[in-house]
Amino acid sequence: MNISKITFILVPLLCVFNSCKDPKPSASIAVSELTIAEIHKAYQEHTYTSSELVATYLQRIKDFDTTINAITILNPKALDIAKTLDEEYAKTGVLRPLHGIPFIIKDNINTAGLPTTAGSLAMQHYIPEKDAFIIEKLVDAGAIILAKSNMAEWAFSPMHTESSTVGTTRNPYNTGFVPAGSSGGTGASIAANFGTIGLGTDTGNSIRGPSSHNALVGFRTTLGLVSRSAIVPLYLRNDVVGPMSRTVTDATKVLEVMAGYDPKDPLTKYSKGKIPDNYSQFLLQDGLKGAKIGVLRALSEDDPHPEIKGLFEKALSDLNALGAKVIDSAIVPNFDILRQNQWCATFTTDIETFLADYVKNDSLKTIEDVITIGTKSDYTRERLVRNAANSGRWENPEIPCLDAYTDSRRVEFREAIEQLMDSLELDALVYPTWNHPPARIDFFQEEYKGDNSQVISPHTGQPAFTVPMGFTAGNLPAGLQFLGRMYDEPTLIRLTYAYEQGTKHRRTPDL
């Protein structure tokens, strides 16, 4: 643990574990697998307060994060915020949608008064004065920002979670293995029950990959549904922010609060008129009855590990048993051609815009400044240099790099998929989130295999949700991914909730 981490957490921990008249951790609060509904019921029945819940989560982090290394900083104001929310509830008797719910936020999302470093040395002293748009919405709904979580530096790695600021995060199910990246700190911390809900970001994999590796639910929503302003970008044309949680219900309740138009993120203009009054109405126990699910064998049969293949075939059987009609296999015409030439190197432009708009530091304006300050990671250094040397599309640079609604390559890919879905009257396509189990930390580059999340959704803009699919040898989680049409989150919520409730694959790691 580095010095800056100790400095920021020392005061709140001394208060929690000694005196300061703050609430003590309560052994009677079983924080393991707590949901929003269970917490709100406890508040209503006066079983415990949000102050006591926060203190108990802080104790759990103290007890177990030394090994996992998922948390970068604790919010020194978390207990004060919880006390204020307790006082409000005592006066009004009304709970806001996320009243007193402790959140863990990825370290690339601006949170007022807490460092937002993106895991880098260049930004290790950046402390934003204002919350990002989505954080404002969560706080207005009563959320408590409990902590920030570790991430792969600059969000470069889908494979592992290592930063120059905090180091390496380990998978709580088996600490010799990666939690994936780049939102691995959020994934590991929510899996380990360090908080109730987490936020991650996803450029190609980084919500769904860590969710799959940590037996979580992860929502990558339609590009344009949720604001990305005041979030350190990787490739903004692909970036999404979304919930990572232990249940579909909790992720849905967070999405209800986050979705909506933000003038600082022009892409969200496309969401106008496409957001239902609430998303919770689609949490249907029998939501798979009569559904038609297509199996995307182009991904599921791409060199799968035998255990993942077995779990996936069992998942298809479960979908059928839960009332769905499984269409095997759904073939997207020209899939292998359409998936090519989709990635664009926009990091330099995107990060320099962020630095100018938010950081406003004369000594940190360009990617060259970032490279000069340096990194502790050879992996990160190589990617910084590569991004500095490139702009535009990695292949066929003559094709303009545009957003998901106007880029010809992206639109063509999406139309082919949605035309297939329409022709077969499919509600969703499914495939394993990863075709291989998590890699060992010491061999993450050699064992990085089967990352299916990179292929479709980041480019087409379509929503894709992952839910737990079971475990392989070594107690390593696996995930099942559902891909839907643009702005069809209601259908994905219905399907994933019914699958989750019908299979109950999620289990707590033994810390």
Q: Domain extents for the chain?
A: 3-265
DSSP label at residue 283: -
Output the pLDDT for position 397: 87
- Nearest by Cα to 176 from 213, 204, 206: 213
Distance CA 196, CA 296 (A): 33
Output the pLDDT for position 24: 76
Residues in the chain: 511
pTM check: above 0.85: yes
3-state helix, strand, coil in the chain (%, to 5): 40, 15, 45
Q: What is the mean pLDDT of residues 100-116?
A: 98
pLDDT in tens, 8-58: 443 333 333 333 456 777 778 999 999 999 999 999 999 999 999 999 999
Distance CA 213, CA 303 (A): 18
Burial of 360 (0-12, 13-18, 19+ CB in 10 A): exposed
Q: Within its chain, how far is the Cα of 341 from the centroid?
A: 25
Q: Within its chain, how far is the Cα of 318 from the centroid?
A: 26
Quote the CATH superfamily of domain 3-265: Amidase signature (AS) domain (3.90.1300.10)
Q: Within its chain, how far is the Cα of 479 from the centroid?
A: 14
Q: What angle do CA 114, 205, 417 make, to 5 degrees?
A: 135
CB 204 within 8 A of CB 161: no
**Strands, E, within 195-305: which ranges?**
197-202, 217-220, 240-245, 292-295
Distance CA 191, CA 474 (A): 16
Output the pLDDT for position 4: 42
Distance CA 348, CA 366 (A): 8
**297 pLDDT more than 90:** yes
> Residue-wise over 64-103: b if at least 16 C-beta within 10 A, else e?
bbeebbbbbbbbbebbbbbbebbebbeeeeebbbbbbbbb
CB 198 within 8 A of CB 206: no
Q: What is the mean pLDDT of residues 390-394?
A: 89
Residue type, 414: R
Distance CA 249, CA 37 (A): 9
CA dihedral 273, 278, 280, 281 (to 10 degrees): -80
Percent of the chain with pLDDT over 70: 96
Q: What is the mean pLDDT of residues 374-383?
A: 96
- Tokens 């979670």 belong to which residue? 161
Which helix (DSSP H) or strand (DSSP E) does residue 345 occupy?
strand 344-345
Q: Which tokens sit at 400?
A: 């303009």
| Mean of pLDDT over the chain | 95
Strand partners, 495: none
CB 179 within 8 A of CB 188: yes
Of 15-29, 191-205, 300-314, 425-439, the poorest mean pLDDT is in 15-29
Residue type, 336: D
pLDDT in tens, 320-365: 999 999 999 899 999 999 999 999 999 999 999 999 999 999 999 9
**Strands, E, within 154-283: which ranges?**
162-163, 167-168, 197-202, 217-220, 240-245
Strand partners, 479: 468
pLDDT in tens, 135-160: 999 999 999 999 999 999 999 999 99
Cα 48 to Cα 96, 168, 195, 246, distances in angstroms:
17, 34, 16, 21
